[in-house]
Structure 1
Amino acid sequence: MKRRTLVAAGLTMPFANAMANANDSGKQRTFIVGYSAGGNVDNFARALGDRAGKLIKQPIIIDNKPGANEMIATQMVSRSEPDGRTILISTEAPITQSQFLYKKLSYVPEELTPIILLAQVPLVLVARSDLPVSNLKEFLAYAKKNPIIAGSAGIGGVTHLPIAMLAKMQGISWTHVPYKGSAAMFPDLISGRIDVCFTGSSAALSQIKAGKVKGLGVGTKERMSALPNVETFEENGLDGIGAKYTIGAYGPKGLPEEIRKQLVAVYTEVLKDPSFVSAAVTPNSYIVDGAHGSEFQEFLKKDRASQKNRVEASGAQLEG
């Protein structure tokens, strides 16, 4: 994952002009999020929506539509009017992964309009506090001898495939328990009903600092400053499990180019805001991205190829 210098590259209008059409109607502006409230994507969407709404002087409502690996939310946006007022804030899963995981989709992933790649999010492998391991090496040794119960924020989602890949690579016997988001998963992890799960860094950090769970591995290239004693998967030769994901903004098919550029300008302004970065990015070890236009399209093209390989390797296949 790389850091990116945010500029309004390719935008042909001043920022003030990009705001011109933002408040021309009383129709509600909404971010559709495919997870329940309180999770990583939801928290990021709320912070983005709050600041973007202030910029355009119109509130942005968060509408949570959890379930089906973000496909319920994605379908809703795919069927919305292409006026820039209903935006999907999601991981890459429903855009580049679900078409290989599910036999049938209710939308065409390539037809959604990529607006901007907002941030890159490292995943953290966390365990119940009484699991008799203290680091990643000990966990792998334990899991090879003891079947584990692993949770995820949804079947086939960005927190499911990494544990599936890890189990496949390490010969681990495991049972999968899917939830509708990280917020719903943590009570069972804390109470010991499941042994481990992958989750975004923001949710993991708060629970680890509270002493409710243990951090075992992180999906960053180097150790996280907030978790200096937690090993990276890369330093253990396990970077191929894909312990990271992205958060992006997507619109429906047919979103006019002018509106897409206006939205890019608004969201880029938020991503450059030091108060937003200090509140929603830095504490969670996220990396602001900002790719849009052809650069975002190229990322999605490469990610589709990568996700196809990951899904095939995991052996996962769902009805949809």
Structure 2
Amino acid sequence: MRRLFLALALLAPMPAFAWPERPITIINPYAAGSSTDAAARALADSFTRELGQNVIVTSQSGASGVVGMRALTQAAADGHTLAYAPLVPLVFQPHLVRNTGLGPDALAPVCNVTENILGIMVKADSPIRNLTDLVAAARQRVLNYGSPGPNSAPFLGVHRIQAAAGGQFTHIPFRGDNASLLEVIAGRLDFAAIVVASGVPMARAGQVRLVAVFSEGRHPAFPDVRTAREQGVDALQPSYAALFAPRGTPPAVLERLEGACRRAMDTEGFRRFTENWGAVPSFRPRAELAAMLAREYEAAGRTFRELGVQPE
């Protein structure tokens, strides 16, 4: 009789995979209204339709993304809390701040979504037309520039220019890209080192001009603007943004999220986001994202050691 019951049990259909069971939250660890926030909302719209549960985006900003990503590390590993963020809190901040609890292995990668191409923008009527002009000017006088903060990815891009080509630069940190761009437009800064997507609206309005990017490829919204390397300056500083889940999230949930992420990037809503913000889609599955996280973490550590930066 026991064998009969066992045989019947094996023949019985398995219960359906029951995730998600309730609404999902995507944490945006940066300011509301930012390009990161807009990307998270584009993903959330698609996920809501595909997964059959409401997906809500909430901003938990602070400490260059550390606050929001720390919140994700403390969330239940059941796939109902996620975070969308640049890699900065995981690959930069652990080298800068002690005991963040973050790093390449602190969370479960889901998928890379965009490349946040970094670049340099000047006022539309600036005599600086390209990177050659900028380096020449910086050799004649100190250029003042703004970035999202010391040791941010755009800041490191300018460091790479200085290391490769020389020049004198004074860094002024700002809270977000828009603040430094407004100072460029007002004529109080020579240039801003930013995520290019943040400056697309002002560039389209004729207020600022892009002169170089730190990526391996040109920004599709500015196909005529050459990369730093194309302009003879070895200043490569990549920057990516991705979706993450708490460490320990079941592989089946991660696999379903990865597929949903890939399909979300093919939706009309996501395409509108990329067009409006000048974002560059760059899908990478979770295994590839994990390998990239490890590489970028090691590369950031080497750069900060060159700069003499010690964690505080």
| TM exceeding 0.5 | yes
Say whether residues 1:249 and 2:247 are aligned partners.
no
Which secondary structure does the structure 1 equivalent of 2:116 belong to? strand
* Structure-2 residue corresponding to 1:312: 305
1:175 to 163, 170, 173: 170
Which secondary structure does the structure 2 equivalent of 1:238 belong to? coil
* Structure-1 residue corresponding to 2:263: 269
- Counterpart of 1:261 in structure 2: which amino acid? E
* Structure-2 residue corresponding to 1:132: 127
Q: Which has the higher contact order (CA 8 A, sep 6+)?
A: 1
* Structure-1 residue corresponding to 2:153: 158
Say whether residues 1:145 and 2:140 are aligned partners.
yes
- Contact 1:33–1:90 (CA under 8 A) maintained in structure 2: yes
Say whether residues 1:227 and 2:222 are aligned partners.
yes
- Contact 2:214–2:235 (CA under 8 A) maintained in structure 1: no
* Structure-2 residue corresponding to 1:206: 201
Q: 1:31 to 1:193 in 2, by over 3 A?
A: farther
Post-superposition offset of 1:39: 2.5
Structure with the greater alpha carbon radius of gyration: 2
Unaligned stretches of 5+ residues in structure 1: 1-16
Which secondary structure does the structure 2 equivalent of 1:88 belong to? strand
Q: 1:210 to 1:100 in 2, by over 3 A?
A: same
- Counterpart of 1:269 in structure 2: which amino acid? R
* Structure-2 residue corresponding to 1:32: 27
* Structure-1 residue corresponding to 2:272: 279
Query: CA–CA distance in 1 between the matches of 2:145 and 2:244?
Result: 30
Q: 1:259 to 1:92 in 2, by over 3 A?
A: same
TM-score (norm 1): 0.83
- Counterpart of 2:221 in structure 1: which amino acid? A
Regions of 4+ moved over 4 Å: none
- Contact 1:30–1:61 (CA under 8 A) maintained in structure 2: yes
Query: CA–CA distance in 2 between the matches of 1:69 and 1:21?
Result: 31
Post-superposition offset of 1:147: 1.2
Query: CA–CA distance in 1 between the matches of 2:44 and 2:180?
Result: 25
Post-superposition offset of 1:198: 2.2
Q: 1:180 to 1:62 in 2, by over 3 A?
A: farther
What fraction of aligned residue pairs are identical, expressed as a percent?
22
Unaligned stretches of 5+ residues in structure 2: 1-15
Which secondary structure does the structure 1 equivalent of 2:283 belong to? strand
Q: 1:132 to 1:309 in 2, by over 3 A?
A: same
Which secondary structure does the structure 1 equivalent of 2:91 belong to? helix
Superposed counterparts of 1:53-132, under 5 Å:
53-102=48-97, 104-109=98-103, 110-132=105-127
Query: CA–CA distance in 1 between the matches of 2:102 and 2:198?
Result: 31
Number of residue pairs matched by the alignment? 295
- Contact 2:157–2:214 (CA under 8 A) maintained in structure 1: no
- Counterpart of 1:206 in structure 2: which amino acid? P
* Structure-1 residue corresponding to 2:12: none
TM-score (norm 2): 0.85
